C-alpha cells in the first residue's frame, strides 16, 4: 500500500533545492505540493505553471530527467517507486494491482483490477442477456459453430432471442434457457450458432435434452 509519509521522506532525501528569491517556492511547500495526487501541483501552489515546473525539474533533476513530457512529476516518481493511481477508486496502489496495457505510457491499465472486476460484474448483472449471448458466441466460435458469414442483422436477432429468454425468466419466475435445436456438438450431426437454430425452452427441458435434438 502506498504510504505518503514514506513518499515524503523519499522526496526530502532526493531534493536538491535552495530558494534564491524571497518570492520563490519554499522547500517544504514544494514537498507538500509533490505529495498531492488529488489536485495538480500548480493548483496547490497557486503559482505560474512555468515557474512551478522549472523549479521542480531543477530540484529533482536526477529523478525527472527521463520523465515523459505529459506526465506529472509526482506521478512519475510514484511510478519509479512501483505505484500508480487508479482513475476509478482514486487509490494509489502497487503496480501489481493493475493489468497490462501496452498502449499506455507505463504499460498499465488506468483502472485497478478490483475496479475492472466491479465494472464487468455490474455490466453482467445489468446486461444478462448480452453477456449470455457473448458467452454463447465464444463457445460456438471455439468449436467453429459461429459462421463467418453472419450479418449484423443476424447478430441482432441472436441478441434479441437471449433478451427474450431473460424476460421470460423475469416475468414467469422460472429459468429459461437458449437451446440449439440441432446441438453444436451433436452425436450424429452438429448445428450452427445462428438465429434459426435457436429456441427458448425451460431449464428443465434443456437439461433433459442434453445434446439430442428435440422431437418437434
Final residue of a structural domain among 119, 139, 159: 119
In a domain, 12, yes or no: yes
pLDDT-above-70 percentage for the chain = 83
Q: What is the pLDDT of residues 10-59, one digit of tens each?
A: 999 999 988 876 658 889 999 999 999 999 999 999 988 888 988 999 99
Residue 215, pLDDT score: 44
Average pLDDT over residues 130-157: 72
Residue 132 has pLDDT above 80, yes or no: no
Instruction: Return d(Cα 51, Cα 58) in angstroms, integer.
Output: 11
Distance, C-alpha 215 to centroid of its chain: 45
Report whether pLDDT(214) > 70.
no
Q: Where is pLDDT greater, at 82 or 119?
A: 82
pLDDT at 102: 87
In this structure, the answer to whether residues 75 and 155 fall within a common structural domain is: no
Domain count, the chain: 2
In this predicted model, which residue has the larger pLDDT, 41 or 136? 41
Per-residue pLDDT at 91: 93
Residue 123: C-alpha distances to residues 117, 126, 128, 130, 160 (Å): 10, 5, 8, 9, 17
> What is the pLDDT at residue 212?
59
109 and 13, same structural domain?
yes
Look at 131 and 65; give whichever has higher pLDDT: 65
Lowest-confidence pick of 14-18, 50-54, 113-117, 181-185: 181-185
- Look up cell 453482467; give the residue: 124
For the chain, the average pLDDT equals: 84
pLDDT in tens, 147-170: 788 888 888 888 888 888 888 888
Claim to verify: residue 108 and residue 40 sit in the same structural domain: yes
pTM: 0.56
Segments forming the whole domain that contains residue 158:
127-209
Q: Answer yes or no: do 18 and 105 share one domain.
A: yes
Same domain, 132 and 115: no
85 beta partners: 92
Contact 40, 52 (CB under 8 A): no
Amino acid at each position: 500500500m502506498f504510504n505518503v509519509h514514506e513518499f515524503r521522506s523519499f522526496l526530502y532525501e532526493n531534493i536538491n533545492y535552495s530558494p534564491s528569491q524571497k518570492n520563490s517556492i519554499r522547500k517544504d511547500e514544494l514537498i507538500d505540493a509533490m505529495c498531492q495526487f488529488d489536485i495538480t501541483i500548480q493548483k496547490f501552489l497557486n503559482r505560474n505553471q512555468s515557474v512551478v515546473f522549472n523549479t521542480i525539474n531543477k530540484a529533482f533533476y536526477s529523478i525527472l530527467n527521463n520523465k515523459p513530457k505529459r506526465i506529472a512529476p509526482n506521478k512519475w516518481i510514484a511510478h519509479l517507486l512501483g505505484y500508480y493511481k487508479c482513475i476509478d477508486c482514486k487509490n494509489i496502489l502497487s503496480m501489481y494491482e493493475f493489468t497490462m496495457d501496452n498502449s499506455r505510457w507505463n504499460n498499465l491499465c488506468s483502472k485497478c483490477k478490483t475496479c475492472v472486476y466491479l465494472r464487468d460484474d455490474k455490466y453482467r448483472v445489468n446486461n444478462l442477456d448480452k453477456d449470455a449471448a457473448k458467452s454463447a458466441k465464444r463457445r460456438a466460435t471455439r468449436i467453429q459453430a459461429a459462421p463467418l458469414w453472419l450479418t449484423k442483422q443476424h447478430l441482432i436477432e441472436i441478441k434479441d432471442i437471449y433478451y427474450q429468454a431473460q424476460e421470460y425468466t423475469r416475468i414467469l419466475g422460472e429459468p429459461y434457457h437458449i437451446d440449439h435445436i440441432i446441438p453444436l456438438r451433436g452425436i450424429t450431426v452438429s448445428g450452427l450458432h445462428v438465429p434459426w437454430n435457436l429456441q427458448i425452452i425451460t431449464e428443465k427441458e434443456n437439461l433433459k435434452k442434453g445434446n439430442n435434438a428435440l422431437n418437434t
